[in-house]
Amino acid sequence: MKVSILQFPGTNCEYDTQHAFEDLGASTEIIWHKSETIPADTDLLVVAGGFSYGDYLRSGAIAKFSPVMRAVKEYASKGGKVLGICNGFQVLTEAGLLPGALKRNEHLHFISKHHHLKVINNDNIFLEKLNENDVVNIPIAHHDGNYYIDQNGLKELYANNQVLLKYSDAEGNDKNPNGSVDSIAGICNKEKNVFGLMPHPERAMEAILGSDDGVKMLQGFLK
């Protein structure tokens, strides 16, 4: 399997992402944001975390204008699998590939810690190796992770099983670290080929580092 990983000025999780997928047996390639094409053999395209363009204006707001994003939209429109992690999630919402927006955290603080997530829907390639209501422990590290969508949009997300993950405690009860609507931590598009989440599964690959719960999450993409 081939995983292509986008790199913008300010991206800082591309090598963590590369290491995670290579440990799972995938081949990887890092794609600079000025590229106008996505490698033809790409099975999964990852928009990695970090601070693209220093998060100026708004997180992901400048990155959406990078040349590579035209290719990303075309790739997704043809059914290509796209995963946005943290800043990657922000970029995908800014580019209109996922609904909603990511705002400044409710208490205006940068948050960096492990946090539990509850699986809401697993009828998708990303979470198919987990069960509904499973609880995983995954690192979060963000300043603008407060997911927002209006009430009509929220109803549509639930109607289409697009809400994938919620912030929770170890028992699966809602525990919201940043003010996200309905404690939402991850979503997908209607077609279930574009995915976004604020937590970092690529940082939860080894128990010795605090958790290996990210393994089953990323394994879903490996066919």
Q: Choose among 125, 130, 132, 62: nearest CA to 91.
A: 62
**105 φ/ψ angles, rounded to the nearest 5 degrees:** -55, 145
| Active-site residue (options: 33, 115, 116, 200) | 200
The single residue of 33, 86, 142, 188 carrying the catalytic annotation is: 86
Is 202 a catalytic site residue? Answer: yes
Instruction: Name the residue type at position 100.
Output: G
CA 20 to CA 26: how far, in whole Å? Answer: 9
Amino acid found at 135 = V
Q: Which residues contact 169 (CB under 8 A, 6 or more apart)?
A: 116, 175
Catalytic site includes residue 86? yes
Which residue in 119, 97, 85 sits closest to 213, CA to CA?
119
Catalytic residue among 13, 94, 142, 202: 202
* DSSP reduced 3-state for 155: helix
Phi/psi-derived region of residue 100, left when phi > 0, alpha when psi is between -120 and 50, beta in every other case: left
Rounded to an integer, what distance in angstroms lies between the CA atom of residue 191 and that of residue 160?
Answer: 9
Q: Which residues are catalytic?
A: 86, 200, 202
